[in-house]
Structure 1
Amino acid sequence: MDVGRSRLRQHWSVYAALLPMAATVLFAYIGTVLWSVRISLSNSRTFPSDSFVGLAQYERLFTSERWMVSVHNVLIFGVLFILACLAIGFLLAVFIDQKVAGESVLRTVFLYPYAMSFVATGLVWQWILNPELGLQTTVRGWGFENFSFDWIVSQDKVIYTIVIAAVWQASGLVMALMLAGLRGIDEEMWKAARIDGIPRWRVYASIVLPQLGPSFATALVLLSVGVVKVYDAVIAMTQGGPGIASEVPAKFIMDYLFGRANIGLASAASTVMLLTVLAVITPWLYARSRANRNAREA
């Protein structure tokens, strides 16, 4: 009887310890999300309002040229950023996996940019890409007078400068994930491939890449979430300019929330971003839970 009571007390003590976190999730996260959705359905301006207007804010949002430019920019940024990070991160991981000299130093060097804030990264790349101070001026000083690299002040190309800065920062994270996956591959597989005379590229294409599926999936989710919330690099590098050429959804929301005092429209935009994140994460969570369930049944 005493043993049963002791187990019951331990059981309830565990739940009691989880109560603060549960309350935080319930009120601070779920509560604020529901509040934002409610505000997005109202005509709120500077202060919250109970005037229900249905989907009027969403209609206004998707007829806004600025919002559509920001969506277009984040799509370009997202595709290039994710593909470049996955490719460069994988290649860096393959390089380090060759047991090169100074492996620990190289891992640190490649991963270090990810430890920097996006503000610092953006400022560094702003200086590098500034036509009057950075790469263009330096190369012209070497005697190449016709060299031009003014993307950061070009409306058509400025979004690609943000891609460059973001890829430089995030590729190290992908490298770490891929390297962990590569180190988990059985060494006997490599020995068998060498004995059979299978080209190394064929081993990577046919055997290694399929086994790195979980690593690619994790990297894809992390990078996709980073795409949706990209803000710091844009602010540090371009402030959304020239004009609105490098505008992104997160900056649109912050501007309308604090600068233009239109919390209804800002809440509608943030709700759209939330749905985008859920659309990315939900299939990954489902696939992961299904894989875990199949592994337990096996």
Structure 2
Amino acid sequence: MNKKPPRQPLRRRYSVAAHIALLPMAFTVLFAYLGTMLWTARVSVSSSRTFPASDFVGLAQYTRLFNNDRWLLSLHNIVWYGALFIAACLLLGFLLAVFIDQKVAAEGVLRTVFLYPYAMSFVATGLIWQWLLNPELGIQEVLRQIGFPEARFDWIVDQDKVIFTVVIATVWQASGLVMALLLSGLRGIDDELWKATRIDGIPRWRVYVSIVLPMLGASISTAFVLLFVMVVKLFDAVVAMTQGGPGTASEVPAKFIMDYLFGRANLGLASAASVVLLSTVLAIVAPVLYARHRGNRRKDTA
């Protein structure tokens, strides 16, 4: 009697099936992402204008880029915006997470309320805050109608303060995400820690500063990476709120790239700006991800 060949182990079958299922995503990453990055880098060292060119001009586009006052202004704005946005989101998100972690009443409703703005698009957020900050229709007009005729809140039309209005709008939208990330970290802290600190008489604020925050390192680094990516991608909120104005006072790199790519048909300069932006992201995010990876490996080997 012929014996049937041994059946392939189920685990191996599942492994092969999983790898096959991942093939479309692998091709997408290789060709749509990495391929696009390499193509952009190639175009950035050419004299491309409306259409891609196959010549090579070295770093001429990068020289032109950093001699462009509008680009330098956009870098200045994004640095200020990024520092204020990330710091405010982390602080506000942490305070919201601590508040909800006290097991307050209607906790589920509050979590939804705080996280809901993040579900909105940046275009919707920008339009809402454009109306709120409009000197003739928004907060300023409301204050004057209720008895404060000298009240002024016209930052959105003030060249020196307009970038702060973008910070306010986007912090309102993104701080809920930070709250959710940090709340999950807080819920992972053992209750015995709180009991021990109460017995030792350690002030609660000191526990959060000296013990809890270091324990939330992974959650904070995740939040930082997500917020930093939002900073680099900032475009929709600026276009919806200010169109980069007044003048070019709220210009940001992503808007500069889109304007030169489509509005001015300067493919080479827009590609150079894109490469600079990508290099900045890699320079900031890669060390954070590497540090997290090393930390996880140390925990696994401990």
Using the size of structure 2 for normalisation, the TM-score is 0.95
Equivalent AA in structure 2 for residue 164 of structure 1: I
Equivalent AA in structure 2 for residue 252 of structure 1: F
SS in 2 for 1:48: coil
Question: 5 Å matches for 1:186-265?
Answer: 186-265=190-269
Counterpart-to-counterpart distance in 1, 2:275 and 2:287: 19
Equivalent AA in structure 2 for residue 235 of structure 1: V
Question: 5 Å matches for 1:1-298?
Answer: 2-3=6-7, 11-298=15-302
Counterpart-to-counterpart distance in 1, 2:132 and 2:101: 31
The structural deviation recorded for 1:143 is 1.4
SS in 1 for 2:57: coil
Per-residue deviation, residues 103-130 of structure 1 (Å, max 9, x unmatched): 1111111111000000000000000000
Counterpart-to-counterpart distance in 2, 1:14 and 1:115: 31
Distance 1:93 1:11, change over 3 A: closer
Counterpart-to-counterpart distance in 2, 1:205 and 1:284: 21
Distance 1:12 1:172, change over 3 A: closer
Distance 1:196 1:10, change over 3 A: closer
Counterpart-to-counterpart distance in 2, 1:8 and 1:84: 48
Per-residue deviation, residues 42-63 of structure 1 (Å, max 9, x unmatched): 0000000012111000000011
Distance 1:6 1:172, change over 3 A: closer
Distance 1:184 1:14, change over 3 A: closer
Counterpart-to-counterpart distance in 1, 2:207 and 2:213: 9
Counterpart-to-counterpart distance in 1, 2:9 and 2:27: 27
Per-residue deviation, residues 244-296 of structure 1 (Å, max 9, x unmatched): 00000000000001100001000000111111111122112211221222122
SS in 1 for 2:250: coil
Counterpart-to-counterpart distance in 1, 2:190 and 2:9: 48
Distance 1:245 1:296, change over 3 A: same
The structural deviation recorded for 1:202 is 1.2
SS in 1 for 2:147: coil
Per-residue deviation, residues 72-111 of structure 1 (Å, max 9, x unmatched): 0000100000000011100011111111111111111111
Distance 1:183 1:140, change over 3 A: same
Using the size of structure 1 for normalisation, the TM-score is 0.97
Counterpart-to-counterpart distance in 1, 2:147 and 2:10: 81
Counterpart-to-counterpart distance in 2, 1:56 and 1:216: 40
Identity value in percent: 70
| Aligned residue pair count | 298
Equivalent AA in structure 1 for residue 149 of structure 2: E
Counterpart-to-counterpart distance in 1, 2:214 and 2:292: 16
SS in 1 for 2:40: helix
Counterpart-to-counterpart distance in 2, 1:6 and 1:239: 57
